[in-house]
């Protein structure tokens, strides 16, 4: 209750001796409020819990804010303002920030503010951002962030791993984004940078030091458990989460990276920085002359691996398989991978280039790699068919001479030998070897080469012997039962057959 109302109620009751009902009518409050005021002789009564509070434009939107905070606890007031404006919110940012302060109170911790000179330092760190679906696979998503300590200009990119090559590759693209190099880069004790640390004894990663030496950048480390020493990049990551990531609908992998670049250009680096009170892009114009020039020869940031080609002519990399020419099956090759390509080398000879895939479980093939293998396999299939056809005459010298003579005639007939042999072998499985050999004898007499002619002869032979027409039996539910079982026949009949022929009609 306000003091002026409390004083007026007491005056009307004590001086003018009005009743409680009359006082309530004049002051326009409930009679319970009048009685509560009269019971307090020294000060106004305290406000009752659950009392009516002054309404606010934000009241209808508070349930939405609570829901968004439950989903993304770090979402910023600026982003909420944008979302609420789309719903018709007429108020401003201050009311939202005040309400957020009541929903997520923060504990303050004192740190010493550290400032550096222009071009002196950049701060670097990773941020874990959950996972993203690419095709049918889920990949871990990380955010690489580099912030120039003086101007606060930020570079960021998404990566699907935190391997050393991705780490130094992101460094190089950050340096290209800035158009120059800081003298030092400050890190937490990242495994990509530090192999081991015991007190002041630090063992840096040799590959990373090669990169740092090529760029003439000095790596510096925070003290263990003193992440506040790189507070500028920590603040940059926190800002990226609240302003870009939190509350964002799922986005496809290539589009996510493009949206991040657009956010850096149009939001992050053009905002009025809370500490410097200057836009990072404007402050960077003053810092840029103090950056070191980029090296003339770009450093090697490719992923380098030794891989072995499998018996199928494939190598494994990053959850997928890539083809190599069949001549290099079983050999140890060198793989070089960048963001968009996978290249394979044998020594210094480049064998192939594939487009890099970030899905999982795919086989990326170049059909030309199997041309030589297919030709060799085709020749092997032909040779196998020849051997199977000649095997029809095994067990009898006369039958062996018969099939060899027929094969020679089939080759001279300029027909597709392999095609006809496959059909003849199929007939042998279906009718049996005995009937096929009898048909070959008549085919040689009339010089009728080819599978169709042989099929007619077999049909005529069976009809002359009064045998019923034989048709294939197909059992879809049990296809293995349709395989014909050929009984071995006594081939002596052919020796007797050739003995009865006159000498001029015997097969040589």
Higher-pLDDT residue of 94 and 53 is: 94
Q: Could you tell me the pLDDT band of residue 392, with boundaries at 50, 70 and 90?
A: confident
- 444: number of Cβ within 10 Å: 16
Give me the pLDDT at residue 3, please. Answer: 74
Q: Which CATH number fits domain 121-290: 3.40.920.10, 1.10.287.1770, 3.30.420.10, 3.40.50.970?
A: 3.30.420.10
Residue 174 confidence (pLDDT) above 80? yes
Residue 239 confidence (pLDDT) above 90? yes
Q: From 66, 28, 29, 67, select the one nearest 51 (Cα to Cα).
A: 29
Over residues 41-51, the pLDDT tens digits come to 766 776 655 44
End-to-end Cα separation, the chain, in angstroms = 129
Distance of CA 508 to the CA centre of its chain: 69
User: Which H helix or E strand runs over 146?
Assistant: strand 137-148
Residue 342 · residue 356 · CB < 8 Å: yes
* Mean pLDDT, the chain, integer: 83
User: Please, what is the angle between helix 492-500 and helix 397-412, to 10°?
Assistant: 70
Q: Which residues pair with 137 in a beta bridge?
A: 134
Identify the weakest region by mean pLDDT among 214-223, 243-252, 256-265, 489-498. 489-498
Domain chopping of the chain, boundaries: 59-103, 121-290, 303-365, 374-505
Q: What's the whole-model pTM score?
A: 0.58
Identify the weakest region by mean pLDDT among 72-86, 207-221, 283-297, 403-417. 403-417
Give me the pLDDT at residue 501, please. Answer: 55
Rounded average pLDDT over 125-149: 92
Identify the weakest region by mean pLDDT among 225-234, 240-249, 292-301, 327-336. 225-234
Residue 111 · residue 231 · CB < 8 Å: yes
Over residues 434-443, the pLDDT tens digits come to 888 888 888 8
Rounded distance between C-alpha atoms, residue 400 and residue 53, angstroms: 110
Share of the chain above pLDDT 70, in %: 84
List Cβ neighbours of 321 (8 Å cut-off, separation of 6 or more).
314, 315, 362, 363, 364
Over residues 6-27, the pLDDT tens digits come to 888 888 888 778 888 888 888 8
Identify the weakest region by mean pLDDT among 53-57, 96-100, 175-179, 248-252. 53-57
Residue 457 confidence (pLDDT) above 80? yes
Over residues 54-81, the pLDDT tens digits come to 677 888 899 999 888 888 888 888 889 9
C-alpha distance from residue 147 to each of 40, 122, 123 (Å): 61, 5, 5
Give me the pLDDT at residue 478, please. Answer: 57
Under DSSP, is residue 18 helix (H, G, I), strand (E, B) or coil?
coil
φ/ψ of residue 333, rounded to 5:
-120, 170
Give me the pLDDT at residue 485, please. Answer: 46
Q: Could you tell me the pLDDT band of residue 266, with boundaries at 50, 70 and 90?
A: very high
Give me the pLDDT at residue 182, please. Answer: 95
Higher-pLDDT residue of 358 and 253 is: 358
Residue 480 confidence (pLDDT) above 70? no
- 491: number of Cβ within 10 Å: 18
Residue 98 confidence (pLDDT) above 80? yes
Residue 39 confidence (pLDDT) above 50? yes
DSSP secondary structure code for residue 181 in this structure: B
Residue 280 confidence (pLDDT) above 50? yes
């Amino acid at each position: 209750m306000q003091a002026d109302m409390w004083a007026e109620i007491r005056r009307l009751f004590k001086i003018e001796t009005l009743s409680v009902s009359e006082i309530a009518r004049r002051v326009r409050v409930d009679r319970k409020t009048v009685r509560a005021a009269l019971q307090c002789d020294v000060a106004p009564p305290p406000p009752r819990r659950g009392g009516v509070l002054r309404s606010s434009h934000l009241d209808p939107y508070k349930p939405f804010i609570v829901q968004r905070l439950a989903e993304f606890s770090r979402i910023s007031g600026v982003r909420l303002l944008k979302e609420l404006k789309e719903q018709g919110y007429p108020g401003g940012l201050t009311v939202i920030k005040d309400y957020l302060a009541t929903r997520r109170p923060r504990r303050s911790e004192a740190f010493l503010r550290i400032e550096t000179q222009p071009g002196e330092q950049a701060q670097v760190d990773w941020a874990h951002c959950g996972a993203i679906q690419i095709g049918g696979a889920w990949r871990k998503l990380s955010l690489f962030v580099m912030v120039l300590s003086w101007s606060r200009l930020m570079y960021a990119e998404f990566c699907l791993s935190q391997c050393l090559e991705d780490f130094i590759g992101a460094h190089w693209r950050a340096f290209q984004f800035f158009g120059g190099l800081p003298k030092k880069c400050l890190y937490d004790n990242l495994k990509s940078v530090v192999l081991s640390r015991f007190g002041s004894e630090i063992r840096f990663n040799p590959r990373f030091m090669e990169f740092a030496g090529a760029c003439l950048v000095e790596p510096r480390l925070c003290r263990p458990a003193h992440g506040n020493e790189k507070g500028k990049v920590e603040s940059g990551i926190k800002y990226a989460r609240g302003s870009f990531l939190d509350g964002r609908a799922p986005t496809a992998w290539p589009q996510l990276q493009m949206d991040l670049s657009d956010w850096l250009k149009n939001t992050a680096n053009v905002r009025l920085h809370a500490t410097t009170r200057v836009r990072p892009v404007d402050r960077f114009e003053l810092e840029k002359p103090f950056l070191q020039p980029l090296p003339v020869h770009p450093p090697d940031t490719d992923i380098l691996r030794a891989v072995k080609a499998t018996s199928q002519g494939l190598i494994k990399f990053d959850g997928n398989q890539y083809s190599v020419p069949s001549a290099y099956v079983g050999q140890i090759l060198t793989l070089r991978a960048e963001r968009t390509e996978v290249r394979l080398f044998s020594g210094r000879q480049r064998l192939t280039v594939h487009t890099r895939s970030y899905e999982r479980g795919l086989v990326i093939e170049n059909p030309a790699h199997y041309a030589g293998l297919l030709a060799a396999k085709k020749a092997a299939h032909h040779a196998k068919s020849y051997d199977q056809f000649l095997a029809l005459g095994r067990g009898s010298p006369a039958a062996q001479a018969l099939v060899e003579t027929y094969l020679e005639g089939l080759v001279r007939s300029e027909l597709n030998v392999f095609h006809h042999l496959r059909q003849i072998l199929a007939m042998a499985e279906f009718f049996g070897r005995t009937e096929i050999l009898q048909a070959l004898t008549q085919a040689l007499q009339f010089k009728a080469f080819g599978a169709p002619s042989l099929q007619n002869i077999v049909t005529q032979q069976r009809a002359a012997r009064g045998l019923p027409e034989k048709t294939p039996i197909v059992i879809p539910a049990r296809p293995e039962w349709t395989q014909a079982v050929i009984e071995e026949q006594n081939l002596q009949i052919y020796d007797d057959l050739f003995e009865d022929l006159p000498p001029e009609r015997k097969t040589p």
